[in-house]
A and B are shown apart, each in its own frame.
Chain A
Amino acid sequence: MTLLWLRLAVILYGVAALAVLPAALYNRPRWRHIALPAAFMGAFFHFVSIAETLYAAHRALPVDTHETLSMLGLLLVVGFLILAARYRTVSFGIFLLPIAVLLAIVPAFHPGHEQIAYPLVRTGWILLHIALLLAAYAAMFLSLIASLLYLIQERRLKEKRAESKRGWLPPLETLDQIGVNSLRFGLPCMTAGLLIGSVLALQSIGPAFFADPKVLLSIAMWIAYILMIYIRSNSGLRGRRAVYLSSFVFLVMVAVWAANSLSAVHRFKTP
């Protein structure tokens, strides 16, 4: 049943990802009315699927790599829906919805069976640790997309191309706000997520945990994140430079994610 909900969610994300193209690129309201409900229903079934999975496995968090990626997909779709409601734009869906499909399609059709080793699995704190960090990743990704769209819109305006009144991209200032606000939302999530993780690690593993490459990279990521927010807020960094900076921090994030395979203590599955 769980897989059925997830597969249904993937199909709905796929429909939304296709419908969002004419809705955003050609400004067709009819397609918008398909894309948004499809994404919303997809997110709903996705949530049901994750909740059922966790309940069936008698655990409180997604421990499987695929499950975690799938949860990130859900957060991206939720981000898309929030942006559509707050800023009346579906342009972000062009990028976010296909990624959500990709993130959810693997666990939907090839579910993993990985297990986490230690008993932390059942505490609410570790769930919070994972959820907060995933929210920070999603916020960072949204900020990166906003910076890329800013760059595209800036180019279009500088090249003086005529287009429809509403266009497919939000105004520059809106894109800038989305980028900065996403980062501001992501920072407390990341800080709290890392702090919770550190306290839990200290309790269960001890100080040795902080010598782990994954943990060191995470601290580097946090510093880079803070630096990025500081630079953007103080110098009003926009356009190309903002994209470079966001891309750099995003790469650090990907490295942190990938470091799971290097880590001896922080792993999704039993070695």
Chain B
Amino acid sequence: MRDLPIDAAAPPTPHNCKLLLLGVNHTTAPIAVRERLAIPGHRLADATRTLAHQPGIREALILSTCNRVEILTVQDGIDQENAEVRAGLQAPTLSVIKFLHDYLQIRETDLEPHVYEYRERDAIRHLFRVASSLDSMVVGEPQILGQVKQSWTVGREVGAVKTMLDPLLQRAFSVAKKVRTETQIGNTTVSVASVAAELARKIFGSLAGKTVLLVGAGKMSDLTARHLIQQGATTLLVCNRTEARAQVIADALRTPAITTGVIPLDQLMEQAHRADIVITSTGAGQVFTPESARAVLQRRKNRPVFFIDIAVPRDVAPEVNKVDGCFVYDIDDLQQVAMQNKAVRNREAEAAESIVTREVARYSDRISQAPVTESIKELLMGAEEVRHQEMARIIHQLAREPLTPEQLAAVDRLTKSLTGKLLHPQIAALRDMAAERESDD
């Protein structure tokens, strides 16, 4: 009873199709390789459609971002012993590599050293990790989930994501959501500029309508100012030793939504009260002292000021931090916060990995049970059909002396009970078989 046949010509089920994931990412391939493989958004639909039409491929999805290109396919099941093996690659892998060669004109030999390959459960695990941002360059960054969703939308639109990939991807999205809500993985910022913006938000809430004063010109201060503007700051004042340079910076950052202005260096103290956030990078030393900071605060009616001191030597005296309403963060402070945040992320990543492991096991169990459930359903339906036929036959034979409704109901119950009891060992055997297959895998 254990070898109940499953129709070889049956529609694809998880057990006669193979899940294969092939890809390169920032850890396996240099930018020179990744940029050759990258598929821009406007070509994604065409590429996915072309891939899905490759022989042996039933479903396909392409994920192409600046840090990774991954191809997830569902392919016809192959006999491992008779599979075509070329250059150490098996048929399913070859069909994807062939697509890359034909579509992007990349030679197999150029790709081979950089490509990673995951199958079945490992592919599911990798997909869940990618969607949850555990495989990202900056662990916990939120963009990757949107990018996977974009690929999924395109795949569905072109008919390449169907009965197997669709539920898998939807599961990946819910796992990613679970990771975000149950861990703090995405709740900390890890770059100096974003830490500064985050701190500014802790002081001012929204940065909308806030004024940023840039004292001195430097790469890091420029980047931080840009970040603050991206976060909603609407006015930028620039103060530099050479006014022409200040004007260049102000012009570069001016947009219809951003007002910019230049403050001459000798008027810095008179004008500084206009700024909510002061970014200093002159390196001239002690531009702001506790006394000058108090004067600025007084003019601001004690509204807080956030000093971001990126200069070495420092432009803002450390004692300014002791003045009520003044918050001073120098480059070391910002880097230290960024490092602490990174440590928090790593800690949370461990918790997130546990969630992914649990969800992979749950999803794999569901997949492995699917064909058995189908077989059990067929078995029960067949038995029910036979029972109905036999009931109809007996009712016909007794047409001259028909059974009373009570007798009929009793016979019905009896036959149901008999079929149930007779099928029970077979159903139990099917379930055992599925469990064994799962443990073998």
Residues of A within 8 A of B (CB): 27, 29-30, 153-154, 157-158, 160, 162, 164-167, 170-174, 234-241
A106 to B193, CA, bound (A): 52
Q: Shortest beta-carbon distance, B103 to chain A, in Å? A: 40
Task: Assess whether A172 is in contact with B344, with CB atoms less than 8 Å apart.
Answer: no
A165 to B188, CA, bound (A): 5
What is the chain B residue whose CB lies nearest that of A171? B205
Contacts of A157 in B (CB 8 A): 199, 202-203, 327
- CB contact list, B310-333 vs A, under 8 A: 321-322, 324-325, 327, 329, 333
A245 to B187, CA, bound (A): 35
Task: Assess whether B187 is in contact with A164, with CB atoms less than 8 Å apart.
Answer: yes
B341 located at the interface, meaning its Cβ lies under 8 Å from any Cβ of chain A in the complex:
yes
Among B189, B304, B322, B341, the most chain A Cβ lie within 10 Å of the Cβ of: B304
A29 to B177, CA, bound (A): 12
Task: Assess whether B198 is in contact with A165, with CB atoms less than 8 Å apart.
Answer: yes
Among B189, B205, B337, the most chain A Cβ lie within 10 Å of the Cβ of: B205
- Given contacts A158-B321, A165-B188, 14 further A-B pairs with CB under 8 A are A27-B187, A29-B181, A154-B324, A157-B203, A162-B188, A165-B186, A167-B202, A171-B202, A172-B202, A173-B203, A174-B205, A234-B301, A238-B302, A239-B325
Q: Shortest beta-carbon distance, B335 to chain A, in Å? A: 11
Interface string of B186-208 (1 = CB under 8 A from A): 11110000000011011111000
Task: Assess whether B300 is in contact with A162, with CB atoms less than 8 Å apart.
Answer: no
Task: Assess whether B188 is in contact with A172, with CB atoms less than 8 Å apart.
Answer: no
Task: Assess whether A172 is in contact with B204, with CB atoms less than 8 Å apart.
Answer: yes
Contacts of A154 in B (CB 8 A): 324
Contacts of A240 in B (CB 8 A): 324
Task: Assess whether A237 is in contact with B181, with CB atoms less than 8 Å apart.
Answer: no
Known interface pairs A157-B199, A164-B184, A165-B198; A173-B189 also in contact (CB < 8 Å): no
B286 located at the interface, meaning its Cβ lies under 8 Å from any Cβ of chain A in the complex:
no
Residue tally, chain B, CB below 8 Å to A: 30
Q: Shortest beta-carbon distance, B54 to chain A, in Å? A: 43
Contacts of B230 in A (CB 8 A): none
Task: Assess whether A173 is in contact with B336, with CB atoms less than 8 Å apart.
Answer: no
A236 to B186, CA, bound (A): 35
Q: Mind listing 13 A-B residue pairs with CB under 8 Å? A: A27-B187, A157-B203, A162-B336, A162-B337, A165-B189, A167-B202, A171-B202, A172-B202, A235-B302, A237-B302, A238-B325, A239-B324, A241-B324
Contacts of B341 in A (CB 8 A): 162
Contacts of A236 in B (CB 8 A): 300-303
Q: Shortest beta-carbon distance, B430 to chain A, in Å? A: 38
- CB contact list, B332-349 vs A, under 8 A: 333, 336-337, 340-341, 344
A240 to B322, CA, bound (A): 13
Contacts of A171 in B (CB 8 A): 201-205
- CB contact list, B201-224 vs A, under 8 A: 201-205
CB-CB nearest 7 A-B residue pairs: A162-B340, A236-B302, A236-B301, A171-B205, A165-B187, A164-B187, A174-B205
Task: Assess whether A160 is in contact with B336, with CB atoms less than 8 Å apart.
Answer: yes
A24 to B230, CA, bound (A): 28
Known interface pairs A157-B203, A171-B203, A173-B204; A164-B188 also in contact (CB < 8 Å): yes
Contacts of A170 in B (CB 8 A): 205
A173 to B208, CA, bound (A): 12
A157 to B327, CA, bound (A): 7
Task: Assess whether A162 is in contact with B344, with CB atoms less than 8 Å apart.
Answer: yes
Contacts of B336 in A (CB 8 A): 160, 162
What is the chain A residue whose CB lies nearest that of B330? A160
Q: Shortest beta-carbon distance, A99 to chain B, in Å? A: 26
Task: Assess whether B184 is in contact with A173, with CB atoms less than 8 Å apart.
Answer: no
Q: Shortest beta-carbon distance, B117 to chain A, in Å? A: 36
Task: Assess whether B337 is in contact with A172, with CB atoms less than 8 Å apart.
Answer: no
Q: Shortest beta-carbon distance, B230 to chain A, in Å? A: 16
A154 to B302, CA, bound (A): 13
Interface string of B167-184 (1 = CB under 8 A from A): 000000000000001001
Known interface pairs A164-B344, A173-B203; A158-B327 also in contact (CB < 8 Å): yes
Q: Shortest beta-carbon distance, B403 to chain A, in Å? A: 57
Within the complex, which residue of B186, B302, B304, B337 is in contact with A160, where a contact is CB–CB below 8 Å?
B337
- CB contact list, B286-309 vs A, under 8 A: 300-304
Task: Assess whether A153 is in contact with B188, with CB atoms less than 8 Å apart.
Answer: no
Q: Shortest beta-carbon distance, A157 to chain B, in Å? A: 5
Task: Assess whether B181 is in contact with A30, with CB atoms less than 8 Å apart.
Answer: yes
Contacts of A235 in B (CB 8 A): 301-302
Task: Assess whether A160 is in contact with B202, with CB atoms less than 8 Å apart.
Answer: no
Contacts of A238 in B (CB 8 A): 302, 304, 324-325
Task: Assess whether B202 is in contact with A153, with CB atoms less than 8 Å apart.
Answer: yes
Q: Shortest beta-carbon distance, A171 to chain B, in Å? A: 4
Q: Shortest beta-carbon distance, B275 to chain A, in Å? A: 15
Interface string of B84-99 (1 = CB under 8 A from A): 0000000000000000
What is the chain A residue whose CB lies nearest that of B306? A157
A158 to B300, CA, bound (A): 19
A164 to B140, CA, bound (A): 13
